[in-house]
Amino acid sequence: MASSSERSPPPFPESEDPEVLEAAVPDRDSDEDEADDPFLSASNTPLTRKDTPAAPASPDDSLVTSSQSEHRSASRSSEDFMDVLNISAKAALEDPADDFVDILRGGASAQRGEDDAPAEGGAADPPAAFTAPVMELRDGWSASSTQKPLVSEKIPDPLVELLGEASTVTDEATKPSGEVVDLFDDEGSNIFTGAVPAEPADIFTEEDDTMSDTRKHSVKNNGVHSAENTDIIAEATVELSLDSPRNERKKKPTPTPSLPAAASLTKPECSALEEVEEEEEDRCDISVSVTDPEKIGDGMTAYMAYKVSTETLLPMFRNKTFTVRRRFSDFLGLYEKLSDKHGPSGLIVPPPPEKSILGMTKVKVGKEDSSSADFQERRRGALERYLQRVVNHPLLLQDPDVREFLEKDELPRAVSTQALSGAGFLKMLNRATDAVSKMTIKMNESDVWFEEKLQEVESADQQFRKLHTMAESLVVHRKELSLNTAGFAKSAAMLGSAEDNTALSRALSQLAEVEDKIEQLHQDQAANDTFGFSELIADYIRLLGAVRGTFDQRMKAWQRWQDAQAMLQKKRETEAKLLWANKPDKLQLAKEEITEWEAKVTQYERDFERVSATVRKEVLRFQKEKTKNFKRQIMVYLESLLQSQQQMIKYWEAFLPEAKAIA
Amino acid sequence: MMEEVKDVSAGSVHGDTIKVTEVLQDGDTLTFIIVSQKLSGTGEYHVDRTYDDFEWLQQHLYTQEDVPGIQGVIFPPLPVRPQVNASAKVMKQLGFLALGEWQPYCRALETFLQQVVAHRLLSKNPALELFLTSADPPGRQKIKKNLFNRLSQAMEEMRKEGHKDVDEFFQTVRDQNLQLTGSSRTAAEKFLDVVLTEQKIAVACGHFSAALHLCVEPGQDPDHKAFSRVCVKLSEVFDSMRKSMMSFSLNDLNTLGLGLDLESRHLEAEKEMLFRRTCKLVELESARRNAERAKPVRKAAMEEVKKASETEFEQICEVAKQEPLSARPCGNAAEESDSVV
């Protein structure tokens, strides 16, 4: 891949877009993207994007390529993994899925425990009637009419019985080994070290690292199905040591490449965009948190006041840490001011959460229930993230309004944000005219980059909306699961108290307790899903709206320019007419107007260029932020998933001796 | 023909080896393949039966009028008729058995057969042998409704349910049974809810995973690539979550779900037996009253009836005491249970 400055056809032309390649865009700067090639050499995607703003993108390059190469090597060994999976020899395992085994055992114990319950229903009665049904639940059990062998046989056979159960899921058994392998293969390519390879046999390894756990989570089902589990315990200790170093290794490469890469690569990449991206540095310089929502006042005039605490090292602020109280309309007011000031120049101003009449009314009325608590938490989180985004933006941070918002004790009430007010109506009108003009302006797009970006933004918006609905439905189901588990726990407790046999009765009440704890787990998990995930997606839907807004701003700037040009043309025509009609005084006026309009045209053109450049920079910055944000959030989310799974395992393991004790 | 107690068998079939290995769906009917090992050790019997055949067998078991005290037997419960594409009401009735592609249902039928074979009184029925070994389906003619069906379905007889017992042992058993039946039915229903919700979550995870896949952006720009990769990985994670949830729910279904279902149906069968006994008790008491109050001309006849009633009742109690009851008010459960069958 030569770093030539011509648009040579990409090395791996797949879905080549010929017009894109040929698009001789005059204002395109040198092919920094060619410089990207060495990094992307491993990729198979055609280089249809030949743009200057590779600078901000470059830090991710190294990350991407390193992970890609790892991916490649990993995929080559995928076949090996397949074979290894199919055979029982699991010695060469790289990543033990510790939890996997615990889950399996936990699952097994759960089943055993559960089996014991009905089995002991049979214990109370003569086993003949009951051991028959219970025994038939496991294949391969020889009939025995005594109870002791019944109980003891259960212990060594959890896997056998699981395999027996697997008669219903045998088709799944073969599939997961195939699919699971792919999942596990991509060890290296996991940006967030999520689904790392793990053999099903690893399940019995003990304690966990946070990293390996994400895999275990994904490997869980496989262990339950797979048929090669009998001597896994032997390999338990081996796996553990292999796990830790690898995880350390994985943890390290991910965050570091971005920083040095950013420094080294920004220099060569920048051309038109002389501004070097400094976002790496200001990340930890200022952090804002929104906490402690407090209801002030009563009745319909009540509102929630939030505590906004800032911690910063930047010299522009008076103190290092300070706190103020703000209400929701203050946040909205800040947004209004910022977007009025900076929007037209093409900055992406992060939007705050929306007003919610229903939510706020509930708060005002004082109704305290789970949905209002949910609403409060969502809003608080959204406000915090909103503020953090504002201060992370280098240009917005310089704005005195932002500083005032963070520092000043008392802010004037932002009345323009009220729904039913003069200012509110004015805003609505403006928005309406904007919408209409957007429809009528047909921009002659000279820069295809913008068109593409707009397309992407639109499709991303759609996808995110879909994701959001999915995430919300997942949350709903989890809540339902926790409810049902609670119901079951109660009925199990009742059954336990009705039961004669003391051991069985005790086991049943223990089961009820375990289920209770699990219900709590499910609830927590649902909360996690919501706040860790679904809210993130909602944020991005809002942000994408803001991005679209900047494109609109650019269009407006273009329109102004075009209008000025049209005006200039008219003035020239008037001048020509006057010249022909020979009216010297009006001619002078006309000449003056022409110069005036010429100046305006030049100015608007420059404005437009400036806005285009800003928009471009902003969009790229947004994309990088987006990726980083998602990555971080997802890691947090997965780790929490892991935690809850591990908790569940612990609960079931604690239950196991109880179940065994039914005799 | 009958081996001794240790060896559970019916005629020429070894009871413990009875398996319902497959269920075939042909349109709306389900056919079950039953495999059992020959006692003589020379091979297996493979027969295919439909639900109607099972009902036939059950009817034959009910109509063993010649066995004394047959009403005291807890008849192994046959699950409700399976329906393909069942209505919501039928699905609720079937509960766990309708899920998991009829596998739990097969297990339930297996249990039914094994329990019949293992029962000291029921296994002697020739119909059982025919059912298990004959290549042709046993006769499918409807048997006329008999005593059992009438009694167990008669709603107006329900008032007899509360009739006080003469025997303390049985009173305790009845009370216990009442409690247990209710509790286990509730537990089974609640657990069914749990399992169904787990399945719903699995489906939702699947949708989420698919939606994430759509987020993959086709750009070459490294940002796009990074983002796409994140999405793809997350999508895979959610896919495994889906699989694990599905397996959770299937395992739950096949173990505790099935167990709870079997237990609650067994308790219902026990309840029916106890109810039959209670009805007999009521009948006996009224026969006694009649015999006392009868005019001399009819006295002899009444005495006859009373005697017959008494014997029947005693036989029923005898048989019932030896059945696997849910409560053992006196004596050690473990020892007694061993000696029963």
CB-based contacts of A314-320 (< 8 A; 24+ apart in sequence): A314/A285, A314/A286, A314/A397, A316/A403, A317/A403, A317/A406, A317/A407, A318/A407
Predicted pLDDT of residue A97: 38
Q: Cβ contact (<8 Å) for B201 and A130?
A: no
Q: Cβ contact (<8 Å) for A133 and B111?
A: yes
Is the model's pLDDT at A648 over the cut of 60? yes
Predicted pLDDT of residue B148: 54
Please identify which residue in the block is written with the tokens 């011509």: A6
Q: What's the DSSP call for residue A198?
A: -
Predicted pLDDT of residue A178: 35
Q: Cβ contact (<8 Å) for B260 and A118?
A: yes
- Within a 10 A sphere around the Cβ of A178, how many other Cβ atoms? 11
Predicted pLDDT of residue B159: 64
Which DSSP string do the residues of B176-237 spell out, in sequence order?
A: HHHHHHHHHHHHHHHHHHHHHHHHHHHHHHHHHHHHHHHT-----SHHHHHHHHHHHHHHHH
Contacts with B74 from chain A: Cβ below 8 Å:
129
Beta bridge partners of A540: none
**Which of B97, B77, B87 minimizes the C-alpha distance to B267?**
B77
Predicted pLDDT of residue B243: 93
Q: What φ, ψ does residue A393 adopt, rounded to 5°?
A: -80, 120
Contacts with B239 from chain A: Cβ below 8 Å:
179, 183
pLDDT interval class at A398 (50, 70, 90): confident
pLDDT tens-digit series, residues A539-598: 888 888 888 888 888 888 888 888 888 888 888 888 888 888 877 777 888 888 888 888
Is the model's pLDDT at B18 over the cut of 90? no
Give the class (CATH, top level) of A459-662.
Answer: mainly alpha
B113 within 8 A of B9, measured Cβ to Cβ: no
Q: Which positions ≥6 away from A122 have C-beta within 8 Å?
A: A129, A130, A131, A133, A134, B324
Q: Which positions ≥6 away from A479 have C-beta within 8 Å?
A: A522, A523, A526
Nearest-angstrom CA–CA distance, A579 and B291: 139
pLDDT tens-digit series, residues A467-515: 888 888 888 888 888 888 899 999 888 888 888 778 888 888 888 888 8
Shortest distance, CA B90 to any CA of chain A (angstroms): 21
Chain B, residues 69-128, CB within 8 A of chain A, namely 74, 76, 100-101, 103, 107, 110-111, 114-115, 118-119
Q: Cβ contact (<8 Å) for B187 and A179?
A: no
A492 within 8 A of A510, measured Cβ to Cβ: no
Predicted pLDDT of residue B242: 92
pLDDT tens-digit series, residues A313-343: 877 777 888 888 888 888 888 888 888 888 7
Please report, as a single letter, which amino acid is at residue A124: A
Nearest-angstrom CA–CA distance, A102 and A97: 9
Q: Cβ contact (<8 Å) for A47 and B186?
A: no
pLDDT tens-digit series, residues A336-392: 888 888 878 778 888 888 877 777 777 677 666 777 777 888 888 888 888 888 888
pLDDT higher for A452 or A427?
A452
Is the model's pLDDT at B127 over the cut of 70? yes
Q: In chain A, how many H helices and how many E strands?
A: 23, 3
Q: Cβ contact (<8 Å) for A126 and B219?
A: no
Nearest-angstrom CA–CA distance, A124 and A504: 9
Nearest-angstrom CA–CA distance, A357 and A380: 16
Shortest distance, CA B156 to any CA of chain A (angstroms): 28
Please identify which residue in the block is written with the tokens 């699981």: A162
Beta bridge partners of A291: A307
Q: Token pair of B252, please? A: 């739950």
- For the ranges A205-209, A420-424, A492-496, B251-255, the lowest mean pLDDT is seen at A205-209
pLDDT tens-digit series, residues A104-142: 343 334 344 334 333 333 333 433 333 333 333 343 333
Nearest-angstrom CA–CA distance, B248 and B244: 6
Q: What's the DSSP call for residue B256?
A: I
A228 within 8 A of A101, measured Cβ to Cβ: no
Nearest-angstrom CA–CA distance, A396 and A338: 8
pLDDT mean over A187-203: 37
A97 within 8 A of A203, measured Cβ to Cβ: yes
pLDDT interval class at B328 (50, 70, 90): low
pLDDT tens-digit series, residues B65-110: 777 777 888 888 888 888 887 788 888 888 888 887 888 888 888 8
Mutation choice for A interface testing from B34, B114, B220 by most A CBs within 10 A: B220
Beta bridge partners of B205: none
Q: Which CATH architecture describes the domain A283-421?
A: 2-Layer Sandwich (3.30)
Q: Token pair of B311, please? A: 């014997």
Q: Cβ contact (<8 Å) for B211 and A463?
A: yes
Contacts with A36 from chain B: Cβ below 8 Å:
222
Q: Cβ contact (<8 Å) for A133 and B114?
A: yes
- For the ranges A171-175, A336-340, A429-433, the lowest mean pLDDT is seen at A171-175
Burial (CB < 10 A; 0-12, 13-18, 19+), residue B315, is middle
Q: In chain B, how many H helices and how many E strands?
A: 10, 5
Nearest-angstrom CA–CA distance, A511 and A78: 41
Kindly indicate whether the ipTM for this predicted assembly is greater than 0.85, answering yes or no: no
Look at the alpha carbons of A590, A595, A598, A599 in this order and tell me if their dihedral is positive or negative.
negative
| Of the ranges A315-319, A494-498, A523-527, B12-16, the best mean pLDDT one | A494-498
A583 within 8 A of A647, measured Cβ to Cβ: no
Which DSSP string do the residues of B1-57 spell out, in sequence order?
A: ----TTS-EETTEEGGG-EEEEEEEETTEEEEEEEEEBTTSS-EEEEEEEHHHHHHH
Beta bridge partners of A305: A294, A327
Domain ranges of chain A: 283-421, 459-662
Mutation choice for A interface testing from B254, B260, B330 by most A CBs within 10 A: B254
Q: What's the DSSP call for residue B99?
A: S
Cα-based torsion angle of the residue sequence A397, A400, A402, A407 in order, rounded to the nearest 10 degrees: 120
Which DSSP string do the residues of B73-98 spell out, in sequence order?
A: S-PPPPPPPP-TT--HHHHHHHGGGG
Chain B, residues 214-243, CB within 8 A of chain A, namely 214-215, 217-227, 229-230, 233-234, 236-237, 239-241, 243
Please identify which residue in the block is written with the tokens 């008037």: A574
Burial B282-303 (b: 16+ CB within 10 A, else e): eebeebbebbeebeeeeeeebb
Using the Cβ of A255 and the Cβ atoms of chain B, whether some distance falls under 8 Å is answered with no
Nearest-angstrom CA–CA distance, A157 and A108: 9
pLDDT interval class at B239 (50, 70, 90): very high
CA-based R_g, chain B, Å? 26
Is the model's pLDDT at B240 over the cut of 80? yes
